[in-house]
Amino acid sequence: MTSSKKLVLVSAAILIDEQQNILLAQRPKGKPQEGLWEFPGGKIEPGESPEKALTRELFEELNIIAQEKDLSPFTFISEDCERFHLLMPLYIIKKWKGTIEGKEGQEFRWIRASELDSYPMPKPDLPLIPKLKALLQFD
């Protein structure tokens, strides 16, 4: 039964640069779903807000500093996964400090919205593709 599954809260970022490119990060070796392309972010820890969790994760994963006021809610994913139920708010971020660096050895790419289909993503992320194409269709 779906309701008996653990709820996993994950906060994720859609970083968009001045040329309207989107940042995708590759899940590092040894993590579940290794090799898939995702939006940077991670699990919300007990007592943390989604915004705090995301600014923490962005520093831990990409070495950048984003301010909570620069996180703009975009959408969320609620998906029944095999071992848990995923609830993932996604924020658009266009402003941050620092140079992006894959601190966990992960690859990352700046891509056009039209290229999203070419990067294998975790299944819960798939509904984000048409939403991002619609958002960035005039680029």
Ligand X SMILES: Nc1nc2c([nH]c(=O)n2[C@@H]2O[C@H](COP(=O)(O)OP(=O)(O)OP(=O)(O)O)[C@@H](O)[C@H]2O)c(=O)[nH]1
Reduced to 3 states (helix: H, G, I; strand: E, B; else coil), residue 16 is strand
Residue 33 touches ligand X, criterion: CB under 6 A = yes
Q: Which residue's structure tokens are 């915004």?
A: 51
Residue 51 binds: one of ligand X, Mg ion, none (C-beta under 5 to 8 A by kind): none
Q: In sequence order, what E strands does the chain have?
A: 6-15, 22-26, 37-38, 41-43, 71-80, 84-93, 108-111
Residue 28 touches Mg ion, criterion: CB under 5 A = no
Amino acid in the structure at residue 44: I
When binding is defined by CB under 6 A, the residue of 22, 26, 39, 93 that contacts ligand X is 39
Residue 102 touches Mg ion, criterion: CB under 5 A = no
Residue 42 touches Mg ion, criterion: CB under 5 A = yes
CA distances (Å), origin 72, targets 8, 12, 81: 21, 11, 26
Residue 51 touches ligand X, criterion: CB under 6 A = no
Which window, 41-49, 66-74, 95-103, 126-134, contacts Mg ion (CB under 5 A)? 41-49
When binding is defined by CB under 6 A, the residue of 29, 43, 95, 109 that contacts ligand X is 43
**Minimum CB distance to ligand X, residue 19 (Å):** 21
Helices and strands (H, E) in the chain, number of each type: 2, 7
Q: Measured between alpha carbons, how far is 133 from 6 in angstroms, rounded to an integer? A: 32
Phi, psi of 130 (to 5 degrees): -65, -35
When binding is defined by CB under 6 A, the residue of 4, 6, 19, 32 that contacts ligand X is 32
Residue 102 binds: one of Mg ion, ligand X, none (C-beta under 5 to 8 A by kind): none
- Binding interface with ligand X (CB under 6 A): 10, 12, 31-33, 38-39, 41-43, 57, 86, 122, 124-125
